[in-house]
A = this chain, B = another copy of it.
Amino acid sequence: MSKKYVYLFSEGKGTMKELLGGKGANLAEMVSLGLPVPQGFTVTTEACTKYYDDGEVINNDIQNEIMQFIDKLEGIAGKKFGDAQNPLLVSVRSGSRASMPGMMDTILNLGLNDAVVDAMATKSGNPRWAYDCYRRFIQMYSDVVMEVGKSYFEELIDEMKEKKGITEDLDLTADDLKKLAQEFKAEYKAKIGSDFPDDAKVQLMGAIKAVFRSWNNDRAVSYRRMYDIPGDWGTAVNVQEMVFGNLGDTSGTGVAFTRNPATGEKSLVGEFLMNAQGEDVVAGIRTPNNIEELKGIMPDVYDEFIKITQKLENHYRDMQDMEFTIEDKKLFMLQTRSGKRTAAAALKIACDLVDEGAISDKDAVMMIDPRQLDALLHPQFDAAALKAATPIGKALPASPGAATGKPAFTAAEAKKRADAGEKIILVRLETTPEDIEGMAAAQGILTARGGMTSHAAVVARQMGTCCVAGCGELRIDEKGQVFTIGGKQYGVNDWISLDGSTGNFYGEEIGTTEATIGGEFGRIMDWADKYRKLEVRTNADSPHDSREAIGFGAQGIGLTRTEHMFFEHDRIPAIREMICAETVEQREAALAKLEPMQQSDFEGIYEAMEGRPVTIRFLDPPLHEFLPTEEKDIEKLAKDTGKSLADIKGIITRLHEFNPMMGHRGCRLAVTYPEIAVMQTKAVIKAAINVKKKHPDWAITPEIMIPLICEVKEFVFLKNIVKKVADELIAAAGVNLKYLVGTMIEIPRACLTADAVASEAEFFSFGTNDLTQMTFGFSRDDAGGFLDEYYQKKIFESDPFARIDQTGVGKLMEMAVALGKKARPDIKLGICGEHGGDPSSVEFCHKLGLTYVSCSPFRVPIARLAAAQAALKD
């Protein structure tokens, strides 16, 4: 039997979303519930896939099958497609497996032509309606199917209204609309070079093809990228008998939600317009009425609608978003789906549904999109103020939240002015590790260069600071302390505001509100913790971050980057002295200055973590990152170290690397200068001994993590150094302190040889940022230059730095897990790349059988929820 590509609504059901798309499955479900739904059929998502496989052609078999269903529909409706006397008109709408509101295309009133419309006008006695339908159809078809664009037609309407001296579309007469329809057809011919198609079948196939095609339009592609929807799913097409909300004053159309999508409150929210078709409610040309008002206009219809909405919510056990049309006092349901909602609403609805006994706590956990929680964890703009503001620019939404303040152009200045009480936005070409203090002091960060994983973006997300990154149009004059955008200059006394969730920024002050987390948030998190298998740790470099992360539910630290501590102004001189050392003794002397500082950092972190596990990564970045770039800092370094300016510049030149990401960094530093590993081991262990003495009941077990291992011998060399130093210190202190020595797995070769590595390493932590870079062979700092083209050309569907590439990087991770467990069955496995906070990546980590994920403090709740969902899906 050949495959069935078309289903009547009455043949489908709600569970067939994969095949029929969300809209098609829900229409079928509503039919089976006995609700008033105009009849129709669904062309499956498989037909869409076939269309692409066949080179963007709907093959004859499928065309024939569709026309057989048109015949069936004709039988059901008692009307004839393309017939002038008793015409069947249909709508053609997209509907994919996942809801993608507004991303794809819709065509209404299909089946009209000059003959049909004239007959319809006469027969209905409502010529205004008939010609209104016709001009709408020509307009939509031209726009959607032939891609002529809407504006030409809107201009024609405006010209007509101007000529007639009217302002409202509703004031156009039947004759006006008839004339417009003909003008539209002429416009179509002028643009396309052939007549507007009269044949209903041609119209239908064109429309279906357009819907299929719209699956790959730019906005659908970027929507899918944003929400991790695979590009090969395809969309279904729903062909449905038209019902008309524009038949006159006893007709109308509207949308409604069973609960408030902004707050989650249990009360119907909706809008409608009388004498209108669907797009009018959305288009904003007329102001729609509150759904309550329908009660006054048509009490019976209103009551019926209320009953249906309750039935649907009870049936789907979730807040529903519905479309309806009233055709001459008769109510028709055109769509129902789970309604999109704000994060706060999502939490409240889930908890309410549990309390109402409608769903279980598992269901509640499953129904929250973890990505949404992000919005609850950062300051937000005052909504009204934001609406009134106009962006002066847009770039990458690199770190969420909202910030308002005055520009500072260097980190030092940002720190100084912030210390003096000013609200500061740090504006930089790009940030470097030297800027760290200024970044911490600023409300938000705006950069001209760099992508979602640039230094500014990564650090800002870590700090929970709002960041808008990579605005190419920004011209920054650091010396003059101004930046220019859109021809306008902004200086140190001008307010600017950044929206880290959209990437918009504004040339004015916009009030912000601190996000508050209601009780529902905690309830959902508790339920999530009940079901998840993965531990959730955090990446934190300071006691402050550690405490914050515990507040968000972190169970330990998966990554402490020791180098972030080095950049602080009281340490940087010592690290620079270390870099400029010419002998081991000089280096050790400089390291000796750093050791007590590192030790006290670690003590602070252990104290904050109260016995939870703490993973400390040894020095990772290339040394040149610590060297000064400004002439005056270079001069100071020369003075501090007693070297000549030329010597210092020579050192800077020698440390220059062609590809620093793949240069002298990570464990390679400690292989070259083992004294660095010695110092760091001392700091880690001495700190643990001290805190252990104060809190003998805490299970302090430092996990020392060696970065960038590519070969087991490298690891053994460093492990031997660590163990020698650590064991001596522990023995001398006479405390019972355990510690682990493990490694980052972030180089392909470490995955390929993970059995050998695991025979020596007590834990693995996947560094998926670097692993992604090396597996794909592109640097995250440079990929911005071409990745957009890759998305546009559909070579990549999602950003591999945001979401683990399961096909490639994931394969290496699987190998590493399998080989690692073979060599050491009880090996601890974690992930500390930025992917640790991405829900789909968390799910992948769950499937891989990792012990924990680690992410920045602000993503901990997201990871907790995603981990629970992964476990519940199993």
Contacts and interface: CB of A to CB of B under 8 A. Distances in A.
Interface of A: 657-664, 668, 671-672, 708, 710-711, 713-714, 717, 746-749, 752-753, 770, 773-779, 781-783, 785-786, 789-790, 793-796, 805, 807-809, 811-812
Contacts of A748: 748, 774-775, 777, 808, 812
Contacts of A775: 710, 747-749, 752, 774
A671 B782 contact: no
A661 B663 contact: no
A731 to B, nearest CB: 19
A663 B664 CA distance: 19
Contacts of A660: 658-659, 782
Given A658-B661, A659-B661, A668-B786, A812 B777 contact: no
A41 to B, nearest CB: 33
Contacts of A659: 659-662, 779, 781-782
Contacts of A668: 778, 786
Contact of A752 (B662, B664, B796, B808): B808
Given A671-B789, A671-B795, A782-B657, A747 B777 contact: yes
B776 A664 contact: no
A723 to B, nearest CB: 14
A776 B795 contact: no
Contacts of A713: 794-796
Given A671-B793, A777-B770, A786 B664 contact: yes
How many identical subunits does the complex contain? 2
9 smallest A-B Cβ distances: which pairs? Answer: A659-B779, A749-B808, A663-B782, A747-B777, A662-B779, A658-B781, A659-B659, A657-B782, A713-B795
B664 A785 contact: yes
A400 to B, nearest CB: 25
Nearest to A716: B795
12 contacts: A658-B779, A659-B660, A659-B779, A668-B786, A671-B790, A672-B786, A711-B808, A713-B796, A714-B795, A747-B777, A749-B777, A749-B808
A665 to B, nearest CB: 9
A795 B717 contact: yes
A770 B777 CA distance: 9
A778 B811 contact: no
Contact of A812 (B746, B752, B779, B805): B752
A210 to B, nearest CB: 23
Contacts of A774: 748, 774-775, 777
Specify which of A657, A747, A752 lies most central, judged by the most chain B CB atoms within 10 Å of its CB: A752
A753 B809 CA distance: 10
Contacts of A753: 807-808, 811
Contacts of A785: 657, 663-664
Nearest to A715: B795
A671 B717 CA distance: 43
A596 B32 CA distance: 68
A216 to B, nearest CB: 13
Contacts of A657: 779, 781-782, 785
A337 to B, nearest CB: 31
Nearest to A674: B793
A766 to B, nearest CB: 14
Contacts of A746: 777
A782 B746 CA distance: 19
A632 to B, nearest CB: 23
A798 to B, nearest CB: 12
Contacts of A812: 748, 752
A779 B710 CA distance: 13
A230 to B, nearest CB: 13
Contacts of A781: 657-659
A717 B792 CA distance: 12
B789 A776 contact: no
Contacts of A805: 749
A67 to B, nearest CB: 33
Given A658-B782, A747-B777, 18 more contacts: A657-B785, A659-B661, A660-B782, A662-B773, A662-B777, A662-B778, A662-B779, A664-B785, A668-B786, A671-B786, A672-B786, A710-B776, A714-B795, A748-B748, A749-B776, A752-B775, A753-B807, A770-B777
B747 A796 contact: no
A733 to B, nearest CB: 26
A296 to B, nearest CB: 57
Contacts of A752: 775, 807-808, 811-812
A711 B796 contact: yes
A761 to B, nearest CB: 15
Contacts of A749: 775-777, 805, 808-809
Given A713-B794, A748-B812, A808-B752, A664 B777 contact: no
Given A659-B662, A671-B793, A770-B777, A710 B782 contact: no
A807 B711 CA distance: 10
Contact of A793 (B663, B708, B717, B789): B717
Nearest to A777: B747
Contacts of A664: 782, 785-786
Nearest to A450: B658
Contact of A776 (B658, B661, B747, B770): B747
Contacts of A662: 659, 661-662, 773, 777-779, 782
A583 to B, nearest CB: 16
A660 B660 CA distance: 10
A432 B812 CA distance: 35
Contacts of A811: 752-753
A808 B659 CA distance: 21
A368 to B, nearest CB: 32
A777 B808 contact: no
Nearest to A472: B654
A464 to B, nearest CB: 26
A660 B778 CA distance: 9
Contacts of A671: 786, 789-790, 793, 795
Nearest to A811: B752
Contacts of A794: 713
A423 B581 CA distance: 43
Contact of A663 (B717, B778, B796, B809): B778
Contacts of A714: 790, 795
Specify which of A775, A783, A796 lies most central, judged by the most chain B CB atoms within 10 Å of its CB: A775
Contacts of A658: 660-661, 779, 781-782
Given A748-B808, A752-B812, A789-B671, A779 B717 contact: no
A775 B711 CA distance: 11
A789 to B, nearest CB: 5
Nearest to A781: B658
Contact of A795 (B663, B711, B795, B807): B711
Contacts of A770: 777
Nearest to A659: B779
A770 B812 CA distance: 18
